[in-house]
Amino acid sequence: MILGIETSCDETAAAVLFSPRGDRTPKLLSNVIYSQAKIHRKTGGVVPEIAARAHIEQIIPTIAEALRSARVSLAEIDGIAVTAGPGLLTSLMVGVDTAKTLAMVLHKPIVAVNHMEAHAYSTLIEIPPKKTKLLFPALALTVSGGHTELLLISGWLKHKKIGQTLDDAAGECFDKVAKLLSLPYPGGPALARLAERGRATIAFPRPMISSGNFNFSFSGLKTAVLYYLRSEGSKIKNKRFRARVAASVQEAIVDVLVAKTIAAALKHRVKNILLGGGVAANHLLRQKLKAESYKLKSNFLAAQPEYCTDNAAMIAYAGWLHMQRGDYTPIKKVRANADWEL
Ligand code: KG4
Ligand code: ZN
């Protein structure tokens, strides 16, 4: 019975995962998320100090709720998995200190989980054992607010980063363009909703799409949108125009993500393409990557929508993968690490 804890950014989350003996598929008993979105809407983005304070207020009620809805007592927990990084340092510290305190008081083992590793494997939560036989090699595209990464996975927890963004993450690009259009926080989902009402008729750049490597760059795209909006003046108030801009930016981001992922999948002849992270909730990205994966005869697995944006289910699951291999973290070494690279 594993308790997962996640506080890396602006979501306070706890989950309970149960692994029956002899069965490879663990079962999620609860998955509780307290979102701070309302709080950060006032400032149009996350202010770290405010996020940390909200985590401090919410972490105990969130864990209590995760245990209550799983109908499990603290005494029944066998291990604790906590996000140690990457993320906002002061946010991470709240989850890490709470998890360490629990591990010490309960005399239970603890695993420090890398948030991006958890996003990559979140596609496999509750996957039936039958499907895991032909899983590897797999390629994971993990797209979140702070990271855009391509991981080549040769076996359980055996992965190598083969590409990443050189500047802004895909989610950051969604968020920044949403801000240019004065959409409310969080910008990504708001921009995606607006995009549904328009056609992608504006030819924004597809940065690095034919760079020959698997790295990404999105800051130039954001700047291109900024200049375009300036040049079009008062049209920004027009509903149809705004929807056209949103659809065109979304398509540019998705095109680059799909092209790079497919090129990497071809090169490494992967059997499965996995998609995780907050931006994986985007319908167009899911649709296009699925269609292109099938053309390659590669299987496609996207994280279920509730496991795309930040959650503790994926932390408990990644923790379980480590614990199964006897890979625990000595409690003294469990530390918040804002820049923890995979
Ligand atoms: O994984 P996540 O919840 O947090 C981080 O680890 O950063 O990802 C959050 C990011 C934000 O940039 C948010 O705008 C974006 O995911 N996002 C979306 C959608 N839902 C969330 N971007 C595009 N379309 C969506 N439907
Ligand atoms: Zn995340």
* Ligand 2 centre distance from Cα of residue 9 (Å): 8
Q: Is the peptide bond before 129 cis (omega within 30 degrees of 0)?
A: no
- Residue 95: name the closest of 10, 27, 29 by CA: 10
Q: What is the dihedral of CA 59, 65, 67, 70, to 10 degrees?
A: -140
How many domains, in total, are found in the chain? 2
Same domain, 138 and 227: yes
Domain co-membership, 50 together with 90: yes
Residue count of the chain, please give it: 342
C-alpha 21 to ligand 1 mean position (Å): 35
Task: Judge whether 241 lies within some domain.
Answer: yes
Question: CB of 310 closer than 6 A to ligand 1?
Answer: yes
CB 118 within 8 A of CB 274: no
Give, using CA atoms, the residue closest to atom 21 of ligand 1. 278
CB under 8 Å to 173, separation ≥6 — which residues? 218, 219, 221, 222, 249, 253
pLDDT of residue 134: 83
Please state whether the predicted TM-score (pTM) of the whole model is above 0.95. yes
Query: What whole-number distance in Å separates Cα of residue 183 and Cα of residue 330?
Result: 44
Residue-wise pLDDT tens digits, 173-191: 999 999 999 999 999 999 9
Are 103 and 151 within one domain? no
Check residue 23 and give its pLDDT.
Answer: 64
Task: State mean pLDDT over 97-126.
Answer: 97
Pair 34, 77 in one domain: yes
**Distance set, CA 241 to CA 126, 127, 269 (Å):** 42, 42, 41
pLDDT tens per residue across span 215-274: 999 999 999 999 999 999 999 999 999 999 999 999 999 999 999 999 999 999 999 999
Protein residues with C-beta less than 5 angstroms from the ion ligand 2: 144, 310
Q: Is the CB of 279 under 6 A from ligand 1?
A: yes
Q: Is residue 338 part of a domain?
A: no
Say which CATH number the domain at 253 has.
3.30.420.40
- Which pair of structure tokens corresponds to residue 148? 């855009």
User: Do 31 and 151 sit in the same domain of this protein?
Assistant: no
Give tens-digit pLDDT for 15-39.
Answer: 999 998 876 789 999 999 999 999 9
Same domain for 167 and 289, yes or no, is: yes
One domain for residues 83 and 136? no
pLDDT of residue 128: 81
Evaluate: CB of 278 within 6 angstroms of ligand 1.
yes
Question: Based on the domain organization, do 163 and 90 belong to the same domain?
Answer: no
Q: Which domain holds residue 67?
A: 2-121+310-333
pLDDT digits (tens, 9 = 90+) for 139-182: 999 999 999 999 999 999 999 999 999 999 999 999 999 999 99
Do 283 and 314 lie in a common domain?
no
* pLDDT (0 to 100) of residue 129: 76
Mean pLDDT over 102-128 rounds to: 96
- Same domain for 163 and 295? yes
87 lines ligand 1 (CB under 6 A): no
Note whether residue 198 is domain-resident. yes
141 and 289 together in one domain: yes
The minimum-distance atom of ligand 1 relative to the CA of 172 is 12
Same domain, 105 and 246: no
d(CA 43, CA 47): 8
